[in-house]
Amino acid sequence: MTRIAVLGAGISGLSTAYALEKLAEQENLEIEVVVLERLDRTGGKVMSVKAEGFLCEWGPNGFLDNKPMTLDLCRALGVDANLLRSNDNARKRFIYAGGTLHRLPETAGAFFKSKLISWPGKMRLGCEMLITPNRGNDDETLADFARRRLGGEALERLIGPMVSGIFAGDPETMSLRSCFPRIYQLEQEYGGLIKAMVKLGRKKRAERKAGQQVASAAGPGGILTSFSGGIQDLTDSLVEKLKAEVRVGSGVERLEPKQDGFLLHLEDATTVEAELVVSAVPAHALTAMLQQADAQAATLLAQIPYAPMNIVCFGYEREKIARDLAGFGYLIAKGEKRHTLGTLWDSSIFPNRAPRGQVLLRSMLGGATNPQAIELTEEEVKKRTMADLKQIMGIDAEPDFVKIFRHRRAIPQYIPGHGSRLAELDERLGQIPGLFLTGNAFFGVGINDCVNASNRIAQKMIDFVAKKQ
């Protein structure tokens, strides 16, 4: 019997534990899994909070269904029948730029008609196919890539809002290769994005003609997917189906390698022994645990920064908002000098997010471009969010419901050098057999990314166990 400790009971830790149990069963291997969580609850950044008839997401509000990882997990858990897709309104997304909300164009025709990008900006975008590809090995920032290939206006009004929406990040300090590896690959393989679209479009048409199923080439695509009770239904289902012991309020203070395993020193002064350990905690938390075992690995982990974030949920009576709310919400272009990064119209995306006759808006304030916002008082957060909603949506009423969530370390930032840092970290941890890493600090911040990484690491661990048994 091999004892495995999973550190962290967020989506990464729970899905890793579940994958370990399923793979061990398939391989007829005997394992015992214990999940150790510092908080007094499971779910990590996933938490769906119900209050006064509103359903507010503390962290992520769903996953995209264009990739199979999380959908496969839902099927395995038997909860796929409970999945809730966002409604048709969610296809309408907006960018606030030049003091106006612009619908994000979905087709070439809509793009040419849109006033989101000026005609000089559109002409600059059209020149993208003439730009020489960057074949160097430098880890280019998203901003440098966008300016080089698409122009400054596209950076301000398209790339900047996208980066703030996904990572709460600053394109000036984010690695293209690590944040959007597919876009990097398209330039390397086809020489440019427009060239890639043309060639991939031809390939798709040929494959469709041959009756083959064709996946989307590069865009995020997919439909935002959750559950009627919120995305926490997923982590709750994992906990329910696990055979593993899940111990909340059991934070690990220090990880001590020893012969044939590890001794985990917990914050309550107790210890746990395990032959294998997989960490699914944030990079900064693992930094402290590894300080004595491997100071160099701890230093590498400490170099992964996190962006802070305030999540501001406002509930209003529908009649107090004159604007049409048929849409996903909006992100704010760089340079608009607003307090928030954007606002999602949550009750327009999924049903049952607000009581009848009311609406729920969820704004993001902070991120890598405004980290000092995490120090604001709740009253100041509310005041600044209301100022933006008045300016952008014309809402001049006090919200009837307010819920504010504070995240000092919300989303990891993949800054230049992230890939080489991970390679170095992998080499360091190769000196500590039986220790594995997963989580959103490394290979993607979305739920699909976390589940995919968990599946990969679980397979590596099962292979490790099989050699020992």
Q: Domains of the chain (ranges plus CATH)?
A: 2-44+232-304+414-468 (3.50.50.60), 51-57+63-89+306-412 (3.90.660.20), 117-209 (1.10.3110.10)
Residue-level pLDDT at 210: 66
pLDDT at 215 over 50: no
Per residue in 346-379, pLDDT tens?
A: 999 999 999 999 999 999 999 999 999 999 999 9
Q: Read off the pLDDT band of 214 (50, 70, 90).
A: very low
Calculate the average pLDDT of the chain: 94
**How many Cβ atoms sit within 10 Å of the Cβ of residue 371?**
17
pTM, 2 dp = 0.93
Cα gap 364→456, rounded to integer Å: 32
Spatial CB neighbours of 375, under 8 Å, sequence gap ≥ 6: none
DSSP collapsed to 3 states, 209-271: HCCCCCCCCCCCCCCEEEECCCCHHHHHHHHHHCCCEEECCCCEEEEEEECCEEEEEECCCCE
DSSP string, 324-354: ---SSEEEE-TTS--SSSEEE-HHHHSTTSS
Residue-level pLDDT at 211: 62
Pairing of strands 31-36, 245-247: parallel
Residue 265: which of 253, 281, 278 has the closest Cα? 253
Q: What is the DSSP letter of 419?
A: H
Per residue in 33-63, pLDDT tens?
A: 999 999 999 999 999 999 999 999 999 999 9
